[in-house]
Structure 1
Amino acid sequence: MGDVVIKTRENGPLLVTGDFTLIDQHGQKFDLGGQPNVALCRCGGSRKRPFCDGSHRYNGFQAGELANQPPTESAPPA
């Protein structure tokens, strides 16, 4: 099994790539249709939840999380 990568999209969905299984609260598997990439809604507006239908473009959803970056060393004061 290859690595699964979950990528945040600015003001958009979570893009999941890799070999994974998505299961609902009753233990039933979602049919992913063999797609190599799946976009999961995080705006809450999709009519196809948990999948993205592009609603984030029209409902004002904003998100731009960035991974924590290590602090950069600053030059000592002159």
Structure 2
Amino acid sequence: MPNIPERPCRITLGEEGPLLVEGPVEITCADGSVAASDRFLVAVCTCRRSRMYPWCDTSHRRRTQPGRDTD
């Protein structure tokens, strides 16, 4: 019988920034490595700028967005 969770996993997509995933979470990366977190909410990097990839470290904020004022 398949593993059926009590409730669906919730993933929140924003216009900018990471995917917010309700945990605990296991992520299998392209190279086959597995990253795991038992936190109640994790931020998964989508821009690949994070030094903690696959987890977001807010590196996406350091780059200015086109058409936005920087002051």
- Give the TM-score of the pair, scaled to structure 1: 0.61
Conserved? CA contact 1:45–1:59, under 8 Å: no
**Alpha-carbon distance between aligned partners in 2 of 1:37 and 1:43, rounded to the nearest angstrom:** 19
Deviation of the 1:61 alpha carbon: 5.9
Q: 1:31 to 1:40 in 2, by over 3 A?
A: same
- Give the TM-score of the pair, scaled to structure 2: 0.66
- Residue 31 of structure 1: SS of its match in structure 2? strand
Aligned pairs, number: 60
Q: Find the partner of 2:21 among 16, 22, 33.
A: 16
**Alpha-carbon distance between aligned partners in 2 of 1:3 and 1:20, rounded to the nearest angstrom:** 13
Q: State the identity %.
A: 33
Match of 2:59 in 1: 55
Please list every run of 5 or more consecutive structure 2 residues that lacks an aligned counterpart in the other structure: 67-71
Structure showing greater radius of gyration is: 1
More strand by share: 2
After superposition, the CA RMSD in angstroms is 2.1
